[in-house]
Structure 1
Amino acid sequence: MTAPGVNDRAAAPNIDVLVVDDDRDSIEELVECLAKAGLSCRATSDGWSALKLLAEGLGADIVVSDLRMPELDGVQFAERLSRFAEGARPEIIFVSGNAGFDDAVAALRLGARDMLTKPVDGPRLVRAVKSAQLARQMRQHQETAGTAGEEVLAPAERRRAALRDLKAMRRTRSSLFPTELFSDPCWEMLLDLYDAQLAGAEVTVTSLGAASGVPLTTALRRMDELQRHNLIERGEDASDKRRTIIRLSESGLRAVDTFFDSVQSRPKR
């Protein structure tokens, strides 16, 4: 099945995203959002059909799959997907309206890049897909470089990989422990800004405050503290004067870079 509104390139042997969902309305919403971002898509209504398409040679960078599907659920689908050869295996992002902690852990163990909740926020979905595309490129580069005896990952790529690991641990931590035990948002804000800066995305003060998990007044006070320490800076949005853009300052970016470089240079035990 090919959902209405799919990019004209959908019939090509290589696409950006394969959407798998048993709900037609959800497929149309996901495909429309991805197509507007210039991503080529194809859609199917169940995991078996998706596996068949991939086995027949459809090249897809990313699979965006519902977690709850009849016959073959998302985790079972991902488990079968993990058996594909490295070069043919797409990255996977799950979407779900009612995922539990066990589902999230199982998904991460099977290599899922992200878990998004329904109704899916369009910009967040696009960011997740583009981040997964970069991860796939890094994986392919790692395979090629490993064969050629080159350095496996460039510094910026290693930092992104470490950031993804930290985010996965953060999601697991939030599921296991009461949120109030980790209520100060400063470090989480720095990580979110670092992630956005690596992806070339802009973050507004309002969106950073909303994502912090604390009341907006508390988030604003923490932003003031971070700015006093010259770790972040605010700027006016050139396209919308009502919005204030927030980003890591030069010294803040350098500090977070140094943190990741230090973590990655520690010997493994």
Structure 2
Amino acid sequence: MAAQQVPMNVPRNSLERASTIDVLVVDDDTDTIEELVEYLSKAGLTCKAAADGWAALKLLADGFKPGVVVTDLRMPEMDGMEFVEQLRQFNDRERPEVIFVSGHAGFDDAVAAIRLGARDMLTKPIDPSKLVRAVKSAQLTRQVRRQPDPAAEPRAEDTKGTSGMMAERTPGKDLVARKRAALADLRTIRRTRDQYFPSDLFSDPCWEMLLDLYDAKLVGGEVTVTSLGAASGVPLTTALRRMEALQSHGLIVRVEDAGDRRRTIIRLTTPGLQAVESFFESHLGRSGA
């Protein structure tokens, strides 16, 4: 989607004075903004609101740093998709996680949103608890994504201070970061592959589904049937058949969402998780990561 580029070059001193907020809410409907901000504020989250994509970009250029953006899909002049395209100007550590909200989103919209890296797409009228869960899940995802690259970390012997104390290490977080980096590499290979080969040669979505479920497990997120189907890149009917195949092999399980009975959560089973874990342990071992 072509969109006019908005410069995001902010002087360093402006960035240092930047105001960090939990959520930036973007919607052209003032009633919706008030409603969403109220829900999020009651959950203890700090919010800033913008009436459209241009106003949101102005806030970002002025130095506001949201961890999560909750944006309407349909807006005049600059819609939600175009706005999120602009967020790609941020580096990976600074870019906020994105949650779309819409009253008329279709399957194609969900696919486009997932491809832009959106964490979730919520339908109006918004359920407050569902919104808060989605935002907190996105916060956790961003927290993991912002972990330092283990390959760039100094060696232990280089982290000794004048007192001879060693810098505190967090091996558990390092391992999660390494696994998520490996996930990103596999997805990059898939995108590169699709540039040179007909995509229908590699159209079975089972592996992509397992990767998405494993990624969610690493960051403590939840994956619904709808979002998993959208992310698979195949028609929903095909995605549902492949979910049934994965379930018949004991790799995934369906769980009813206790907070919203209209949603069904998909999770890796214990054998499914062990299988994917074993794959990544082997992959990381061979790559020397």
Q: Please report how far the alpha carbon of residue 211 of structure 1 lies from its aligned counterpart in structure 2 after TM superposition.
A: 2.7
Q: Distance in 1 between matches of 2:134 and 2:215?
A: 14
2:152 aligns with 147
Identity %: 46
2:263 aligns with 211
Q: How does 1:6-25 map to 2 (within 5 A)?
A: 13-25=19-31
Aligned partner letter, 1:147: A
The match for 1:161 among 215, 230, 236 is: 215
Is 1:190 matched up with 2:195? Answer: no
Query: For each residue in 1:101-158, what CA deviation from the matched residue of structure 2 results, as whole angstroms up to 9, or x when unmatched?
Result: 22222221211111111111111111111111111111110x4434217977435985
2:62 aligns with 56
2:76 aligns with 70
Is 1:262 matched up with 2:278? Answer: yes
Q: Please report how far the alpha carbon of residue 84 of structure 1 lies from its aligned counterpart in structure 2 after TM superposition.
A: 1.5
In the comparison of the two structures, how many residue pairs are matched? 209
2:235 aligns with 176
1:108 aligns with 114
1:243 aligns with none
The SS at the match of 1:30 is helix
Aligned partner letter, 1:262: S
The match for 1:122 among 128, 153, 161 is: 128
Query: For each residue in 1:61-82, what CA deviation from the matched residue of structure 2 results, as whole angstroms up to 9, or x when unmatched?
Result: 0000000000000010000011
Aligned partner letter, 1:126: V
**Contact 2:23 2:47 (8 Å CA) reproduced:** yes
Is 1:27 matched up with 2:27? Answer: no
**Contact 1:75 1:103 (8 Å CA) reproduced:** no
Query: For each residue in 1:6-40, what CA deviation from the matched residue of structure 2 results, as whole angstroms up to 9, or x when unmatched?
Result: xxxxxx81110000000111111111111111101
The 10-residue stretch of structure 1 (113-122 or 64-73) with the greater mean CA deviation from structure 2: 113-122
Q: Distance in 1 between matches of 2:260 and 2:251?
A: 13
**Contact 2:71 2:80 (8 Å CA) reproduced:** yes
Q: Distance in 2 between matches of 1:21 and 1:182?
A: 36
Aligned partner letter, 1:190: V
Higher relative contact order (CA 8 A, sep 6+): 2
2:140 aligns with 134
The match for 1:44 among 45, 50, 71 is: 50
Change over 3 Å in CA distance of 1:175–1:125 after alignment to 2: farther
Q: Distance in 2 between matches of 1:188 and 1:71?
A: 45
Aligned partner letter, 2:278: S
2:188 aligns with none
Unpaired runs of at least 5, structure 2: 1-17, 156-170, 181-212, 285-289
**Contact 1:162 1:260 (8 Å CA) reproduced:** no
The 10-residue stretch of structure 1 (49-58 or 176-185) with the greater mean CA deviation from structure 2: 176-185
The 10-residue stretch of structure 1 (92-101 or 146-155) with the greater mean CA deviation from structure 2: 146-155
The SS at the match of 2:122 is strand
TM-score, normalised to structure 2, is 0.60
